[in-house]
């Protein structure tokens, strides 16, 4: 025979289990949502510089893709010097490529075209490519993060 005390004990346990499960579910749901909407901690600008190779290895209108702070950057040698631009299209984020024969940067996704200065020539991109600083230090092409 089961006494009333044992029934209450079981009921209390089930209430506790249900409440704990609902609380765990609520925290599990709310934590990712809050981490998404909570503003990121700004730690100041990054000043990382990355080598794109030796300057003598580049001929005029030749390019090279490098990663700067985890972002793809296209480095191009023009007769006036080196230029570096974000390799992420400003339209939908596709990776752009240097077209050496036309001296332009092409986006393969939606036919966006940028000139040698990173400005939009044609297609849907709404703004020019972000430019990175470039310096030749001891014969080495260094790209500085934006």
For 100, phi and psi rounded to 5 degrees? -65, -35
Span 110-133, average pLDDT: 92
Span 12-17, average pLDDT: 87
Task: Identify the residue whose tokens are 């981490």.
Answer: 35
Task: Identify the residue whose tokens are 């998404």.
Answer: 36
Instruction: Provide the 3-class DSSP secondary structure of residue 35.
Output: helix
Pick the CATH number of 49-144 from 3.30.565.10, 2.40.30.10, 2.70.98.60, 2.102.10.10: 2.102.10.10
pLDDT of residue 49: 86
pLDDT for residue 115 is more than 70? yes
Instruction: Provide the 3-class DSSP secondary structure of residue 65.
Output: strand
Sheet (strand 49-54) strand order: 49-54, 140-144, 131-137, 81-86, 71-78, 63-68
Instruction: Provide the 3-class DSSP secondary structure of residue 33.
Output: helix
Band of residue 11 on the pLDDT scale cut at 50, 70, 90: confident
pLDDT for residue 120 is more than 60? yes
pLDDT digits 0-9 by tens, 63-72: 999 998 888 9
Where are the domains positioned within the chain?
1-38, 49-144
pLDDT for residue 4 is more than 60? no
pLDDT digits 0-9 by tens, 127-146: 999 999 999 999 999 998 76
Q: Are 52 and 143 in contact (CB under 8 A)?
A: yes
* Burial class, 50, CB count within 10 angstroms (exposed 0-12 / middle 13-18 / buried 19+): middle
Instruction: Provide the 3-class DSSP secondary structure of residue 42.
Output: coil
pTM above 0.85, yes or no: no
């Amino acid at each position: 025979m089961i006494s009333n005390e044992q029934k209450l004990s079981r009921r209390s346990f089930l209430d506790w289990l249900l409440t704990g499960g609902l609380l765990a579910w609520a925290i599990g749901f709310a934590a990712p949502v809050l981490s998404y909407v909570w503003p990121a901690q700004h730690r100041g600008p990054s000043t990382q510089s990355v080598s794109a190779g030796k300057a003598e290895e580049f001929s005029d209108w030749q390019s090279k893709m490098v990663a700067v702070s985890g972002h793809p950057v296209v480095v191009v040698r023009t007769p006036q010097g080196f230029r570096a631009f974000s390799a992420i299209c400003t339209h939908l984020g596709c990776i752009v490529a240097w077209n050496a024969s036309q001296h332009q940067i092409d986006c393969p996704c939606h036919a966006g075209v940028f000139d040698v200065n990173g400005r939009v020539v044609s297609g849907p991109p709404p703004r020019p490519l972000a430019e990175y600083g470039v310096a030749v230090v001891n014969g080495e092409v260094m790209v500085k993060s934006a």
